[in-house]
Copies of this chain bind each other. A is one copy, B any other.
Amino acid sequence: MTPALRKATEKDLPAIHGLVKQLADFEKMPNAVTTTLEDYSKALISKEIQIDVATVNDHIVGMTLYYSTFSTWKGKMMYLEDFYVEPSHRGYGIGSALFDLFLETAKSQECVLAKWQVLDWNTRAVDFYINKGATIEKDWWNGKISLTSLALS
Q: A104-B153, A108-B152, A143-B134 are in contact. Are A71 and B35 (CB under 8 A)?
A: yes
With both chains docked as a complex, state the minimum distance between the C-beta of A82 and any C-beta of chain B, in angstroms: 5
Whether A58 sits at the interface, judged by CB under 8 Å, is: no
Contact B69 A67 (CB under 8 A): yes
- Return the contact of A141 from the options B70, B138, B153 (Cβ within 8 A): B138
Q: Which residues of B contact A108 (CB under 8 A)?
A: 152
Copies in the complex: 2
- Return the contact of A119 from the options B132, B140, B148 (Cβ within 8 A): B140
Q: Which residues of B contact A57 (CB under 8 A)?
A: none
Whether A43 sits at the interface, judged by CB under 8 Å, is: yes
Q: Which residues of B contact A39 (CB under 8 A)?
A: 75-76
Contact B150 A107 (CB under 8 A): yes
Question: Interface residues, chain A, CB within 8 Å of chain B?
Answer: 20, 24, 29, 32-35, 39-40, 43, 48-49, 65, 67, 69-76, 78-79, 81-82, 100, 103-104, 106-108, 111-121, 126, 129, 132-148, 150, 152-153
Supply 23 A–B pairs (Cβ within 8 Å), ascending by A: A20-B72, A24-B73, A32-B74, A35-B74, A35-B75, A69-B79, A71-B81, A103-B145, A103-B147, A113-B144, A113-B145, A113-B146, A114-B144, A117-B140, A117-B141, A118-B140, A119-B139, A120-B140, A120-B141, A135-B144, A136-B142, A136-B143, A137-B141
